[in-house]
């Protein structure tokens, strides 16, 4: 069965019993051919893809590879990355899942309450971005979804403005992984950005998801770069390693991203299929470090 982010988050705590031991972890890291990064890409990695590795050990491995961030973490996890000199380039600001979000007016009160707490915490921790989601359509038209999201986001973005935090909505595919998700095309997300009228609201362009939904990745990145605050990777098909087993050529995509003047983070969000997940992570950094 293909693991999704939602499933992984639910099983991370339970996986601690089977986590990689420190000796095994240390040995696997020593055997990696780690090379200094060039500095053109700010590398990050999504923790949920490595749920069997204790967070602190993943942070240390990431730091050894030149990765600047471990992300998709809650506020209680931020201190673990911060104490080792890394950041969380994309934090969680709400306990509500992927399929429920700002397009549902019945959730606006709860979302405002949770982001009102998370935004100051993120600012105090030196974070820059908190993730958010549109939620599933559940019969909503594109236009009504945008209206609902903009209305719910408005008070949140006012708080974000005060603390200089960006609220970043992720683009997800509704074809394979997240059936009925509304923010499933770049143009829909861009229209919502324009509707909010706030520089504190941007998009997380997930390359894996958008290749599935619309393709034309490099041209889309170039066209809409000013609306994008963050990137995720993933191999298509299958969401595994971003190597020769999949259909995208990531060095060209990374080159296009840097040519837009992007200074944010690019996070690895593939699910390792090979025996040593840290070897796969290190290989992905080499591929993207143009």
10 has a pLDDT exceeding 50: no
Number of C-beta neighbours around residue 83 at 10 A: 10
Who wins on pLDDT, 244 or 30?
244
85 has a pLDDT exceeding 60: yes
Tell me 17's DSSP state. G
Model confidence pLDDT, tens digit, residues 48-78: 999 999 999 999 999 999 999 999 999 999 9
**Token pair for residue 220?**
């889309």
Among 26-35, 174-183, 217-226, the minimum mean pLDDT is found in 26-35
Grade residue 9 by pLDDT with cuts at 50, 70 and 90: very low
Q: State the CATH number of the domain containing residue 283.
A: 3.20.20.150
Q: Domain residues for 138?
A: 5-288
**Token pair for residue 116?**
């009102």
216 has a pLDDT exceeding 50: yes
The whole-chain average pLDDT of the chain stands at: 92
What's residue 89's pLDDT?
98
Class of residue 209 by CB neighbours under 10 A (exposed 0-12, middle 13-18, buried 19+): buried
Q: pTM for the complete prediction?
A: 0.91
The total number of structural domains in the chain stands at 1
DSSP readout, 66-128? T--EEESB-TTTHHHHHTTT-B-SSEE--SS-TTS-TT-GGGHHHHHHHHHHHHHHHHHTT--
User: At how many degrees (to 10) do helices 186-196 and 217-224 cross?
Assistant: 10
Grade residue 34 by pLDDT with cuts at 50, 70 and 90: confident
C-alpha distances in Å from residue 196, one per residue of 119, 159, 193: 18, 14, 5
93 has a pLDDT exceeding 70: yes
Instruction: Say how far apart CA 176 and CA 178 lie, in whole Å.
Output: 6
Percent of the chain whose pLDDT exceeds 70: 90
Estimate to the nearest angstrom the gap between the alpha carbon of 284 and the chain centroid.
16
3 has a pLDDT exceeding 90: no
Q: What does the buried/exposed string (b/e) look like for 276-288 if buried means 16 or more CB atoms within 10 Å of the residue's CB?
A: bbbbbbbbbbebb
HEC assignment per residue over 200-249: CEEEEEEHHHHHHHCCCHHHHHHHHHHHEEEEECCCCCCCCCCCCCCCCC
């Amino acid at each position: 069965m293909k693991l999704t982010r939602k499933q992984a988050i639910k099983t991370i705590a339970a996986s601690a019993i089977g986590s990689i031991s420190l000796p095994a972890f240390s040995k696997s890291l020593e055997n990696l051919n780690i090379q200094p990064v060039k500095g053109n890409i700010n590398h990050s990695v999504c923790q949920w893809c490595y749920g069997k590795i204790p967070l602190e050990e993943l942070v240390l491995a990431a730091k050894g590879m030149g990765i600047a961030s471990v992300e998709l973490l809650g506020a209680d996890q931020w201190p673990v990355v911060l104490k080792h000199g890394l950041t969380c380039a994309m934090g969680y600001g709400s306990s509500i899942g992927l399929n429920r979000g700002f397009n549902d007016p019945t959730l606006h009160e709860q979302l405002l309450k949770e982001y009102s707490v998370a935004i100051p915490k993120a600012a105090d921790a030196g974070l820059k971005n908190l993730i958010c989601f549109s939620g599933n359509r559940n019969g909503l038209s594109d236009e009504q979804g945008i209206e609902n999201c903009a209305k719910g986001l408005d008070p949140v973005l006012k708080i974000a403005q005060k603390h200089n935090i960006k609220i970043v909505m992720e683009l997800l595919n509704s074809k394979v992984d997240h059936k009925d998700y509304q923010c499933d095309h770049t143009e829909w997300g861009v229209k919502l950005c324009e509707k909010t009228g706030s520089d504190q609201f941007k998009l997380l362009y997930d390359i894996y998801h958008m290749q599935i939904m619309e393709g034309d990745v490099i041209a889309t990145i170039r066209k809409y770069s000013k609306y994008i605050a963050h990137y995720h990777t993933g191999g298509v098909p299958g969401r595994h390693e971003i190597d020769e087993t999949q259909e995208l050529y990531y060095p060209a995509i990374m080159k296009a991203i840097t040519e837009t003047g992007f200074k944010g983070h690019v996070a690895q969000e593939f699910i390792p299929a090979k025996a040593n997940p840290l070897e796969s992570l290190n290989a992905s950094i080499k591929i993207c470090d143009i």
